[in-house]
Amino acid sequence: MKRNKKQISVRLAFHDWIRDGESVYGSEEGIELSIGNFHSGTVFSGTIILDDDDANDLLDAINKKAYPAFLMVQASDGFKDGSGDR
């Protein structure tokens, strides 16, 4: 059964630089990485593609002021779309 997909426009607010689950924001490296637009509070525009059920769940949560937070990885890092695991 083919599921309908929905594109959702999102705003991505930069939060932190993380390595191995720990912030590097306050380190010398983190300071270097934070020069320019990659510092706390910078907002980027993006689009995510979800099936209808997931899109509705996400939008319902956001309307109730519950906001998701994501870890961004390159597509080549082996994560599968929508699987939640490697």
Which pLDDT does position 64 carry in this prediction?
Answer: 97
Give me the amino acid identity at 60.
Answer: D
Show the domain range for 19: 5-77
Residue 33: which residues within 8 A CB-CB, separation 6 or more? 17, 24
Is 66 part of any domain?
Answer: yes
Number of domains in the chain: 1
Asked if residues 38 and 17 have their Cβ atoms less than 8 Å apart, the reply is: yes
Res 85: pLDDT: 42
pTM of the model: 0.66
Per-residue pLDDT of the chain (86 residues; tens, 9 = 90+): 667 899 999 999 998 999 988 999 889 999 999 998 898 889 999 999 999 999 999 999 999 999 998 888 777 766 666 644 43
- 85, part of any domain: no
| Contact indicator for 44, 11 with CB cutoff of 8 Å | yes
For residue 44, being part of any structural domain is answered with: yes
- The answer to the question of residue 12 being in a domain is yes
In a domain, residue 86? The reply is: no
